[in-house]
Structure 1
Amino acid sequence: MTAQRRFVRRTVALAVTASVAALTLTACGGDSDSKTSSGTETSSGTRTGGHNAADVSFSKEMIQHHRQAVEMAGLAADRASSAQVKSLATKIKGAQDPEIKTMSGWLTSWGEKVPQDMSGMGHDMSSSAPGMMTGADMGKLEKASGAMFDTMFLNMMVEHHEGAVDMAKTEKADGKYDPATELAADVITAQSAEIEQMNKMLGKG
């Protein structure tokens, strides 16, 4: 009987120990999951939040601004006579297409509407944005070819870029969303260099 009682007590003790260990592991696992969830929420909040009205305006206007630049660049392929102009146009399109996608993603994550794409429709895409060409301007560029196109394209794109730089400077000063202000800084650097390049191509630099 004594041996049997000892066996029973030992069995009960082992069962209790196992239960306590299981509860402890569950509790630790719960804490870990909670921390991970909290961390994800915080990280997500950082990615999608922390923006202000200036960030929204910048993204919406720059999307339209970039779309028009891409449309202008697209005309160069079969209208430009200068290899330099064609190369520059390809570079502009290659840089600005991805930025349009990036800014569209921001707007979607903020619950904002991405502006309708009006490029190629002969409309003024955003009259409030500096440096934007009018529908009439775009019509003239579409009808031009050869050396006339090259000159017209470069003059228009210089003005267009200057407008983009102004918009980017405003975003850097007033924006709150770090990725947006960083993109604005990139726009200032890249497009200022392209303005200098185009002015040299026009014989102004």
Structure 2
Amino acid sequence: MIRKHAFVRRTAGVAAAGAVALVLAGCGGDDGSGSAGHGGHDATSASSSASQGKHNAADVAFAQGMIPHHRQAVEMAGLAPDRARSTQVKRLAAAIEKAQDPEIETLSGWLTSWNEDAPAEGAMDHSAHGMAGMMTAEDMSGLENASGKAFDTAFLEMMIKHHEGAVEMARTEQADGAFGPATKLAGQIVTAQGAEIEQMNTLLGRD
């Protein structure tokens, strides 16, 4: 009987140890599944807080870069009503202005909420010139001085290059960003401006 009780105690001990091991293994699995280094036991809470406002350096760079990029596109579009000959070019310019003006406000609002600097109005300075697709001062001056068919061609060629730069920036945000609304906006830019690039190539007779 003594041996039987000892055997029962040993069996219970092994079972308890196994249960503890399983619990610890489960905790380890939770830690491993916590994304972006949020670590652990409350992955749902971490995910929720991330969707509500977590951001990283890529999100800041995206917003700070896209604001002057959009502003220049809006400036280019604003030249079309008085200079373009093609009704399709005028409509495209109006659509670009209508889409990108509100996005500038959205991007500026994010930067303010993150306590980051938003590019000042009219900040088409040296910091923006190295950005993908940005026009130089000479490019903009040439567009301002063009009219009719010459304007239409120059506008479409320049805006294609401009859009391609925006799409490149947006894809970088999709790959590297952490702020859900910013990566979502980046996806919308890729889709919308990609479609406009196709439209502009068609207007130029490239398709």
TM over 0.5: yes
Partner of residue 139 from structure 1, selected from 128, 138, 141: 141
8 Å CA contact 2:51–2:180 kept in 1: the answer is no
CA distance in 2, matches of 1:98, 1:193: 19
Quick check: 1:81–1:145 contact (8 Å CA) kept in 2? yes
Q: Unpaired segments of 5 or more residues in structure 1?
A: 1-41
Q: In the aligned structure 2, how far is the partner of 1:54 from the partner of 1:189?
A: 20
Secondary structure of 2:117's match? coil
Partner residue in 2 for 1:166 = 168
- 1:87-98 equivalences in 2 (<5 Å): 87-98=91-102
Partner Cα distance (1:129, 1:179) in 2 = 22
Contact 1:124 / 1:135 at 8 angstroms: preserved in 2?
A: no
SS at match of 2:129: coil
Q: Residue 7 of structure 2 aligns with which residue?
A: none
2:57 paired residue number: 53
**Which amino acid in 2 is paired with 1:198?**
M
The Cα shift of 1:46 comes to: 5.3
* Offset, 1:45: 6.0
1:105 lines up with 2:104 in the alignment = no
Q: Name the aligned partner's letter for residue 157 of structure 2.
A: N
Instruction: Describe the superposition over 1:147-173 as per-residue Cα deviations: whole angstroms up to 9, x where unpaired.
Output: 000000000000000000000000000
- TM-score by length of structure 1 reads 0.75
User: What is residue 119 of structure 2 aligned with on the other side?
Assistant: 115
Root-mean-square deviation (Å): 1.8
CA deviation digits over 1:35-73, x for unaligned, max 9?
xxxxxxx9x965763100000000010011000000000
TM-score by length of structure 2 reads: 0.74
Instruction: Tell me, in whole angstroms, the C-alpha distance in 2 between the residues paired with 1:149 and 1:125.
Output: 27
Deviation at 1:118, TM superposition (A): 1.9
Percent of aligned positions with the same letter in both sequences? 61
Q: What is the one-letter code of the residue matched to 1:98? A: P
Q: Contact conserved, 2:50 with 2:179, CA < 8 A, in 1?
A: no
